Structure 1
Amino acid sequence: MSLPYFENHGWQAEVVTIDPKYSDLAQDELLLQSVPQSIKTHYVKALSKSFTSKVGLGSIALRSLWYYRQKVNSLLKQQQFDLIYFSTTQFPVCILGAYWKKRFGIPYVIDMQDPWHSDYYMNKPKSQRPPKYWFAYRLNKYLEPIAIKNADGLISVSSGYISQLKSRYPVIKNIPDAVITFGAFEPDMLIAQNNRQQFSALLNKESINIVYVGRGGRDMHRAISPVFEAFKAALETDFEKHSTIKFYFIGTSYAPAGQGTATILPLAQQFGIENYVVEVTDRISYYHTLLTLQQADALFIPGSDDPQYTASKIFPYLLTGKPVLAVFNKASSAIGIVEEYGVQDVYNYDEVSPTRLFTFFDQLISKQLHDISYNADAVKKYSAIEMTRAQCRLFDKIVNAGS
């Protein structure tokens, strides 16, 4: 989303990334349509997962680490670069920043799109922890300080992530930082529509479909529970009317296709509304996501019970212009952003009104909720071009400080 705009702000970018054939994640060739042809892209190898999984190492970051090192070494020897920017949630790769800084004297910035080393799951039962949590927790605890202590700048979707890191590592308390979310990139909506024939339809056209696409997890139950509870009461009040509604939760697991564990459907079963909730654990591609959001009647954005959770990928939801129901932890910065756009139905899960949820369902059924034109100032403020401007201001500050 930033690549089309870096040059407008005085930066030329080259990308180093994994050759897609080494990844087992959902792939979307259409993503390349929004990348300017002028952008140089260098692909690196990775160890075969069929080999490394035998010793318990399936992470694409660990499998590719050596190859990233070799490729970027070669690039830095051949030409002059001003900055290395890590924009990935495959965080182990970021430890190479400290190595390249020491060897080549080049500063680096890490974009913390999610927490890296976190104690969030420490007091959770084993059944609620991610796979291989014991190993990942200890690995992250060891690797994070290597990367963060030597960083020259931090970008994050959450001010809480930055504050936590600067508190944990006082040596970086004075480095430049910025809170920058994923921007709204309107060209992607058109790409999704123009290629809709490539994607299978996931929604029931006979239903009124309320859709969420994104990760699931028990940490979202507090945001989802009030909605399920209100919907159950609505069914009991007027079954014939409200039984036309169906909730979709799509792409809720990071596990390989067919291996994900449902985390939302069990909650629906607790409320006795499982016949009105569809959970698809398999991830879908980015443009399949955008098309599905555009085909929905309304969109649901549940937040985590982690107060630092930002739901930074909310902008595709808002770009659709569809009616949105959003429920977050009251400390989440997402509430303010969504309200800026002019979304009416945004709540914190401790204070959400069942009456207001009933009204949302009724207005949706009676077609009183229409596609919406959101606040133009907010649309501009959170656009990808403005987010890129903020990135480049941080880059300039770091490079100018070192010159």
Structure 2
Amino acid sequence: MSPRKIIIVAPHFPPSNLAGVHRSRLFAQHLPAFGWEPIVVTVHERFYEEALDRDLEKLLPENLRVEKVNALPTKPVKTVGDIGVRGFLPLFKRILKIVEAENPAFLYIPIPSNFAALLGPLIHQKTGIPYGIDYIDPWVHVWPGSDRRFSKAWIARKLAEWLEPYAVKNASLITGVAPGYYEDVLKRNPHLRRKAITVAMPYGGEQRDHDWVKKLNIQPFLFVKKEGVLDFVYAGAMLPKAFKPLEEIMKAIKANPDLMQYCRIHFIGSGTSPNDPQGFNIKTLAQEYGLWNKVFFEYPKRIPYLAVITHLNAADGTFILGSTEAHYTPSKVYQSVLSGKPVFAVLHQESSACAVIQETKAGTVLSFNGERDIQKIHDNFPETWRTHLQFMSTFNAKDVNMDEFDKYSAKSVTKILAEALDQIELKR
């Protein structure tokens, strides 16, 4: 049987350096192994605002079909920033052309950009093609400022509440990084429990990415190793609801000055803006507790993905900080395990990342139960950190249970998606 075609709508795609591109990239890489031929429809990189990462293109399969469209520019006058809005009409036209000419079996839309989700019902209405939406992040949710009436954030939230029901109304598939990413969608739209297949799929780890780092011989450049000092890397954005857990950690460190005497934690790409080297996010907090450039160091600007892996490999361990939200599952956990370095994580107890670390025996988890349990971080951090340092003293990467990790590999995750697509095909 010839492969069935699936269109993956990814307004951002390599060489974009945004974290979300890896979701579409890894699906596109592994779907052919399960009988699905991906066609990626994206916006041309000349319309991206963020810095480009050309090395990411080297990770793409040679025969991957990528269709690029135009979009409204942001210069000289920026009318709108969201790539899903700026590229909406060109994306719609290209997808419609492919569907009408080639009769693909499915249309799959990872979000954000949330507005791209509206392409699903519009194309479905014109052609009948089944479609699905993948929640990399929740669409309708409350975030800082969104409860202030008539503010920009409030308007965005209200718009999401209005648009999402239309986007998901006729969806055949609803997926997410974890169940918590789409459970509220099902509550708001109960017909989906009968009409759509729902499945959770983590990001997954890709060993091939780490092999490429060695092949390209990329060297670390953000910090220099010092004898007798343990370096830990936190790589990625700083979530709004991660600041409270971080502050509890800082309080505990200040109260126990000997705890981190020979430790440094490097926050990489955690700034207020992906392209701003001065957009410090944790600096003020670290200064308040006297820990800035002593324990906590920050490099706000996002660096290339393979450079992040390089710094994970150069460190003595990785540091993962979760959110007070139960659904949050940091994708960095998979790269941390694959780095072969011991992992220390502070996570909501319901985060699926806890199981990844514990089942693979890759590190130590300090778990807590959301904002009501935030004091637990302060109380337990010193003892848990000392236990972790003991764990590190005998750690060997060969002891990590990679057989357990296999179910979290990008290929295994993609298999889950392919099986859901197969079910939809059987129903047609």
**TM-score normalised per structure 1:** 0.89
**1:2-401 to 2 correspondence within 5 Å?**
2-51=27-76, 53=78, 55=79, 57-121=80-144, 132-174=152-194, 175-197=196-218, 201-206=221-226, 207-235=229-257, 237=258, 242-253=260-271, 255-258=273-276, 261-276=279-294, 277-349=296-368, 350=373, 351-352=376-377, 353-360=380-387, 362-363=389-390, 367-371=393-397, 373-401=399-427
What per-residue deviation string (whole Å, max 9, x for no partner) do you get for residues 4-37 of structure 1?
A: 3212211111111111111022322222223222
Report if aligned partners of 1:234, 1:358 keep a CA contact under 8 Å in 2: no
Structure 1: gaps of 5 or more residues? none
RMSD: 2.4
Between the aligned partners of 1:302 and 1:37, the Cα distance in structure 2 is 35
Between the aligned partners of 1:202 and 1:395, the Cα distance in structure 2 is 43
Paired residue type of 2:237:
R
Between the aligned partners of 1:6 and 1:313, the Cα distance in structure 2 is 22
Between the aligned partners of 2:146 and 2:120, the Cα distance in structure 1 is 32
Between the aligned partners of 1:135 and 1:72, the Cα distance in structure 2 is 29
Report if aligned partners of 1:223, 1:329 keep a CA contact under 8 Å in 2: no
**Displacement after TM superposition at 1:52 (Å):** 5.4
Report if aligned partners of 2:175, 2:201 keep a CA contact under 8 Å in 1: yes
Moved more, 387-396 or 132-141: 132-141
Bigger RCO of structures 1 and 2 (CA < 8 A, at least 6 apart): 1
Give the length in aligned residue pairs.
Answer: 390
Q: Structure 1 246/259 Cα, relative in aligned 2: closer, same or farther at 3 Å? A: closer
Between the aligned partners of 2:186 and 2:48, the Cα distance in structure 1 is 33
**Displacement after TM superposition at 1:123 (Å):** 7.2
Paired residue type of 1:209:
D
Between the aligned partners of 1:296 and 1:113, the Cα distance in structure 2 is 28
Paired residue type of 1:49:
T
Report if aligned partners of 1:210, 1:296 keep a CA contact under 8 Å in 2: yes
Paired residue type of 1:268:
A
Paired residue type of 2:403:
D
Paired residue type of 2:212:
I
Residue aligned with 1:227, SS: helix
Q: Structure 1 346/187 Cα, relative in aligned 2: closer, same or farther at 3 Å? A: same
Report if aligned partners of 2:175, 2:200 keep a CA contact under 8 Å in 1: yes
Paired residue type of 1:179:
A
Report if aligned partners of 1:180, 1:387 keep a CA contact under 8 Å in 2: yes
Report if aligned partners of 1:181, 1:387 keep a CA contact under 8 Å in 2: yes
Report if aligned partners of 1:227, 1:357 keep a CA contact under 8 Å in 2: no
Report if aligned partners of 2:343, 2:357 keep a CA contact under 8 Å in 1: no
**TM-score normalised per structure 2:** 0.84
Paired residue type of 2:381:
P
What per-residue deviation string (whole Å, max 9, x for no partner) do you get for residues 350-384 of structure 1?
A: 445234334157548x9544545321332211111
Q: Structure 1 246/313 Cα, relative in aligned 2: closer, same or farther at 3 Å? A: closer
Paired residue type of 2:341:
K
Report if aligned partners of 1:217, 1:263 keep a CA contact under 8 Å in 2: no
Report if aligned partners of 2:231, 2:266 keep a CA contact under 8 Å in 1: yes
Moved more, 136-145 or 184-193: 136-145
Q: Structure 1 165/327 Cα, relative in aligned 2: closer, same or farther at 3 Å? A: same
Report if aligned partners of 2:120, 2:131 keep a CA contact under 8 Å in 1: yes
Report if aligned partners of 2:253, 2:382 keep a CA contact under 8 Å in 1: no
What per-residue deviation string (whole Å, max 9, x for no partner) do you get for residues 232-252 of structure 1?
A: 3442x47xxx43321111111
Residue aligned with 2:293, SS: helix
Report if aligned partners of 1:230, 1:357 keep a CA contact under 8 Å in 2: no
Between the aligned partners of 1:259 and 1:205, the Cα distance in structure 2 is 22
**Displacement after TM superposition at 1:135 (Å):** 3.8
What per-residue deviation string (whole Å, max 9, x for no partner) do you get for residues 20-61 of structure 1?
A: 1110223222222232222211001111012552x4x11111
